[in-house]
Amino acid sequence: MGLELFLDLLSQPCRAVYIFARKNSIPFELRIVELLKGQHLSEDFALVNPAQKVPALKDGDFTLTESVAILLYLTRKFQVPDHWYPQELQARARVDEYLSWQHTNLRRHCLRALWHKIMFPVVLGEPVSPEILETTLAELDLTLQILEDNFLQDKAFLVGPHISLADLVAITELMHPVSAGCRIYDSRPKLAAWSQRVEAEVGRPLFQEAHEVILRAGNFPPADPSVKQKLLPRVMAMIG
């Protein structure tokens, strides 16, 4: 059995891994794990990955979780073009810096925007107060400002003139609030232009395909009560 990637394209980190593997023609078996059906909590999946998380990579006996770890593993093992994760020390440090910052900043706020706007109220039937939603969207706004002012600035891509893992992780994260109906690019022409460049580099067909699931977020049906019961505690721990 070759490389297996356990993914649900509902999840932002899964999308980044999927796009990266496909873009670089990395051969893999796609194993879909549907989070909204609680499939990640099944006994079968626990045998594959005791952490019960996606994305997960299985390469022979080696199982790996955490999207940044997976992306870097794929980068090194399959010797992808240098611009994704440059060999040059300082250029690479810039990517490491972004990948570290994003986890507790952009990712967090993009996740909360989607969950507070759509997933809790519509899918899980858990109402979210207007105050909480407003705070969440305000925090997202602050983070987008940092993304533009401290990372993108006047560069073509987040860490330099070429696309890197930083851009892929960022764009897939931003698709969470976009899919929830947040018009994040309206007043941010620089960021909008960057997003177009990233999509063009990835290739629009692949980008659209990876985002097919999340773009339907506005129309997700309510979850089954039994599934909701299983998901809610873990979701609460994740959203925090």
Partner 1 sequence: MGLELFLDLLSQPCRAVYIFARKNSIPFELRPVELLKGQHVKGFLPAGSQQVVPLLKDGDFVLHQSAAILIYLSCKYQVADHWYPADLQARARVHEYLGWHADFIRGTFGVCLWTQVLAPLIGAPVPEEKVTRNRAAVDSALQQLEEQVLGDKAFLAGPQLTLADLLALEELMQVVALGRDVFAGRPRLAAWRGRVEAALGADLCREARGPILNILEQAAGRQLPQPPAEFRHRMLLRLSRIP
Enumerate binding residues for partner 1 (CB under 8 A). 50-51, 62, 64-70, 72-73, 76-77, 89-90, 92-94, 96-97, 99-101, 103-104, 139, 146, 150, 237-238, 240
Give the shortest CB-74-to-partner 1 separation in angstroms: 10
Peptide bond into 81 cis (omega under 30): no
Q: Determine the Cα–Cα distance for residues 153 and 26; give it in Å rounded to an integer.
A: 32
Write down the least CB distance from residue 59 to partner 1, Å.
9
Whole-number minimum distance, CB 206 to partner 1, in Å? 24
Q: To the nearest 10°, the Cα dihedral for 219, 34, 123, 67? A: -90
- Give the angle 86-152-74 at the CA atoms, nearest 5°: 30
- Minimal distance in Å, beta carbon 123 to partner 1? 21
Burial class (CB in 10 A: 0-12, 13-18, 19+), 144: buried
Nearer to partner 1, 88 or 224 (CB): 88
Question: Token digits for 143?
Answer: 């983070």
- Do residues 136 and 56 lie in contact, with contact meaning Cβ atoms separated by under 8 Å? no
Looking at the Cβ atoms of 100 and 196, the one nearer to partner 1 is 100
Between 100 and 208, CB nearer to partner 1: 100
Closer residue to partner 1 (CB): 70 or 110: 70
Q: Which is nearer to partner 1, 101 or 185 (CB)?
A: 101
To the nearest whole angstrom, how small is the minimum distance from the Cβ of residue 146 to partner 1?
A: 7
Write out the two tokens for 237.
């721990």
As a whole number of angstroms, the distance between CA 61 and CA 198 comes to: 34
Nearest distance from C-beta of residue 199 to partner 1, angstroms? 25
For partner 1, which is the closer residue by CB, 51 or 200? 51
**Alpha carbons 48 and 56: distance in angstroms, whole number:** 9
Say whether 69 sits in a helix, a strand or coil: helix
